[in-house]
């Protein structure tokens, strides 16, 4: 364990061996930091934060602070950060709220670039990348391996399906299906994220069938129910196609088109 002499650490914080804490970092009570994690200088880790192994939290990041929610009354809520996650300078991650489930949860292998913001009760999957100044309002759910470009603003309660790509300076107010590209203010869909799917070794057949499903649902003017029925009748019954259709059927905010 390497803890700089100027770091301020509450005695009720629990820090595993092989953790590095830089100069002037502040770690509050009821924090757990797993082995191999590095806390940069001037970073603040507030109470009820659980940080997994081998994470990197850079200087001036603000992690586990109370939510920016007028209904929050100081109740005990949590922030959980998965292993191998990188949190860059000036990022801000808030704890959950009692009315929103009580936990903000960051998945494994996330990369949160400078000035990103994750609000209360959000959940991100594995391998999520958020570029500089991307911001999540409360209660947002981000699927595995989603990439969110810089300066993106996402409305509360929006869901983004896995392997989606969100272009920079986009504003999202409705759900984004898995496997697609979305961009613009307000965001619209721009086809499948074929580059991302190939990078993650999706087969050409899977990509082709997803493309057929995408076209039926979004490009030929059918209602959602009509399109779903046609996809189920005409497109190969692959797990990815079922996931695509089920995501669309389960939307509460509506689907971006």
Domains in the chain, number: 2
pLDDT digit string, tens, across residues 125-136: 999 999 999 999
- Does this model's pTM top 0.75? yes
What tokens were used for 39? Answer: 């806390």
Residue 60 included in any domain: yes
Query: Which is the catalytic residue, given 121, 125, 149, 161?
Result: 121
Terminal-residue alpha carbon distance, the chain? 51
Query: Which is the catalytic residue, given 96, 138, 143, 149?
Result: 138
| Cα R_g (the chain), whole angstroms | 20
Cα 13 from Cα 64, distance rounded (Å): 13
Query: Which is the catalytic residue, given 120, 125, 127, 161?
Result: 120
Q: What is the pLDDT of residue 94?
A: 98
42 is catalytic: no
pLDDT digit string, tens, across residues 45-94: 999 999 999 999 999 999 999 999 999 999 999 999 999 999 999 999 99
Looking at residue 59, which CATH number applies to its domain? 2.160.10.10
Looking at residue 222, which CATH number applies to its domain? 1.20.1180.10
pLDDT-based confidence at residue 166 (cuts at 50, 70, 90): very high
pLDDT > 70 in the chain, percent? 100
> Minimal CA–CA distance to 86: which of 112, 65, 122?
112
Mean pLDDT of the chain: 97
Among 127, 142, 157, the domain-final residue is 142
Residue 156 included in any domain: no
Residue 185 included in any domain: no
pLDDT digit string, tens, across residues 97-109: 999 999 999 999 9
Q: What is the pLDDT of residue 201?
A: 98
138 is catalytic: yes
Among 142, 170, 186, the domain-final residue is 142
**Structural contact between residues 135 and 155, judged by C-beta atoms closer than 8 angstroms:** no
pLDDT-based confidence at residue 2 (cuts at 50, 70, 90): very high
Cα 243 from Cα 175, distance rounded (Å): 14
Query: Where are the alpha helices (H) located in 114-175, listed in sequence order?
Result: none
Residues 115 and 9 in one domain: yes
What tokens were used for 80? Answer: 């959980």
Q: What is the pLDDT of residue 1?
A: 76
120 is catalytic: yes
């Amino acid at each position: 364990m390497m803890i700089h002499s100027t770091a301020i650490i509450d005695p009720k914080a629990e820090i595993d061996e092989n953790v590095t804490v830089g100069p002037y970092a502040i770690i509050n009570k009821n924090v757990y930091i797993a082995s191999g994690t590095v806390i940069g200088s001037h970073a603040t880790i507030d109470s009820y934060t659980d940080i997994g192994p081998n994470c990197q939290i850079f200087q001036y990041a603000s992690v586990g602070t109370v939510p920016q929610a007028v209904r929050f009354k100081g109740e005990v809520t949590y922030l959980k950060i998965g292993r191998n996650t990188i949190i860059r300078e000036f990022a801000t991650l808030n704890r959950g709220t009692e009315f929103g489930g009580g936990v903000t949860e960051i998945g494994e292998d996330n990369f949160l670039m400078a000035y990103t913001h994750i609000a209360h009760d959000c959940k991100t999957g594995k391998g999520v990348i958020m570029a500089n100044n991307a911001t999540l309002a409360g209660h947002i759910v981000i699927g595995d391996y989603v990439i969110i470009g810089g300066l993106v603003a996402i409305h509360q309660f929006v869901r983004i399906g896995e392997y989606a790509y969100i272009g920079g300076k986009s504003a999202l107010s409705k759900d984004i299906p898995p496997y697609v590209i979305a961009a613009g203010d307000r965001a619209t869909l721009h086809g499948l994220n074929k580059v991302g799917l190939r990078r993650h070794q999706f087969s050409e057949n899977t990509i082709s069938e997803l493309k057929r499903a995408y076209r039926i649902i979004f490009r030929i003017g059918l209602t959602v129910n009509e399109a779903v029925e046609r996809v189920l009748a005409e497109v190969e019954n692959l797990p990815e196609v079922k996931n695509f259709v089920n995501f669309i059927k389960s939307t509460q905010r509506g689907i971006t088109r």
